Amino acid sequence: MQLHWIAGCVLWLASAAMAGETGSAQTLAQTQTDRAAGIALQAESRIGNDRVSTSLRNSGLNLRSSSAMVVDQKTGRTLLAKNTDALMPIASITKLMTAMVVLDAELPLEEKISIGKEDRDSLKGTHSRLKVGTTLSRHLALQLALMSSENRAAAALARAYPGGVQAFVGAMNRKAASLGMAHTHFVDSTGLNSNNASTAQDLVKMVNAAYTYPLIREITTTGSYDVAMRGGPRRVQFRNTNQLVRNKSWDIGVSKTGFINEAGHCLVMQANIANQPMVIVLLDSWGKLSRIGDAQRIKKWMESSRGAKHRTAILSTPGNGWKTAVAVSAASGS
């Protein structure tokens, strides 16, 4: 009887050990399967990324901008993409939204607004040719803010908005939300604050929206603007910060540049290239002329037989002039 009991215990222990080994084997097998699946997924991802990167390399493009996107405006098809979902400061690209909010409010464009002390740049200390006390029309303020990126003009436009600066910034963010710019946030009308941030994907939406405003198209593609200061014969010429609008080989519909240290050199445009309307977004370019170089490289690629053949290139990375004179009254300087 005792022998039977001992034999039973031995059999039970053996069964338990076998079950344990089986369970461990099953767990190990599952772990190995999961690990293999993970490796397979990573390999598939790397293969996809390699294919995409090779596609851009084969295009001959070597973009200096950290984030870039080119979209066919007619079809919405992305033709080139690089870090398009990277959130980054957008500097004076902000002023396109500033202009849309001003125009949406249907405020009198010939109404006079003044440059005040509060419109001076206390954040970056940037220079302005609009002295404190200068009076100009809302239209001219828009002209200088959009074309020459005049920060005091953009600040004055927000301050002269019903409800003031706070209401204006609120309207900017509501406009962004209405356009589906889910990753965009504004804190001022100038772009001097690096907390004005967006992505290339969102900025394509903003450029598309800005293109629907005839006045924005007219102003942003003007090469230069002569302003006659009241009280003397002196005229001041304000030039477009995007030199490409003065280049006859370009057909540009909307343009805006931007720069602060945190954002690097930025450029957004709507342009017709190879008889197709395109939206181009270039962010955080490392050199002053690099954004222009990138735009020229993209245009050349699009117009080339290689560009016409491929039309799509995605770079996947970790994380992917006419002149006129307008009178302006100037008071004491700042």
Average pLDDT over residues 271-281: 97
Q: How many CA atoms lie within 13 A of 317 on its CB side?
A: 14
Question: What pLDDT is stored for residue 293 in this prediction?
Answer: 96
Question: What pLDDT is stored for residue 304 in this prediction?
Answer: 87
Question: What pLDDT is stored for residue 310 in this prediction?
Answer: 52
Rounded Cα gap, residues 50 and 55, in angstroms: 8
% pLDDT > 70, the chain:
72
Question: What pLDDT is stored for residue 321 in this prediction?
Answer: 31
Question: What pLDDT is stored for residue 312 in this prediction?
Answer: 52
Question: What pLDDT is stored for residue 93 in this prediction?
Answer: 98
pLDDT, tens digit, 9 for 90 and up, residues 294-311:
999 999 999 985 556 555
Q: Is 329 labeled as catalytic in the residue annotation? A: no
Q: Is the pLDDT of residue 45 over 90?
A: no
CA dihedral 169, 170, 171, 176 (to 10 degrees): 90
Average pLDDT over residues 261-280: 97
Lowest mean pLDDT among 21-25, 43-47, 168-172, 266-270: 43-47
Average pLDDT over residues 176-195: 98
Strands (E), the chain: 65-72, 78-82, 88-89, 112-114, 135-137, 197-198, 224-230, 235-239, 251-260, 264-273, 276-285, 313-315, 325-329
Backbone angles phi, psi at 102, to 5 degrees: -60, -45
Q: Across the chain, what does the average pLDDT equal?
A: 80
- For residues 147 and 228, the model is more confident at 147
pLDDT band at 233 (very low <50, low <70, confident <90, very high): low
Options 65, 66, 95, 285, the catalytic residue: 95
pLDDT band at 3 (very low <50, low <70, confident <90, very high): very low
pLDDT, tens digit, 9 for 90 and up, residues 55-90:
444 556 889 999 999 999 999 999 999 999 999 999
- For residues 29 and 267, the model is more confident at 267
Q: pTM of this prediction?
A: 0.77
Average pLDDT over residues 213-220: 98
Q: Is 131 labeled as catalytic in the residue annotation? A: no
Average pLDDT over residues 147-165: 98
CB 268 within 8 A of CB 207: yes
Question: What pLDDT is stored for residue 1 in this prediction?
Answer: 40
% pLDDT > 90, the chain:
68
Domain boundaries, the chain: 56-329
Q: Is the pLDDT of residue 200 over 90?
A: yes
Q: Is the pLDDT of residue 266 over 50?
A: yes
Q: Which CATH superfamily is domain 56-329 in?
A: DD-peptidase/beta-lactamase superfamily (3.40.710.10)
Options 65, 66, 92, 255, the catalytic residue: 92
State the pairing for strand pair 78-82/313-315: parallel
Q: How many CA atoms lie within 13 A of 272 on its CB side?
A: 6
Smallest CA-to-CA distance from 314 within 86, 47, 68 is with 68
Options 149, 189, 255, 285, the catalytic residue: 149
SS3 232: coil
Q: Is the pLDDT of residue 50 over 90?
A: no
Q: Is 95 labeled as catalytic in the residue annotation? A: yes
Question: What pLDDT is stored for residue 13 in this prediction?
Answer: 37
Q: Is the pLDDT of residue 280 over 60?
A: yes
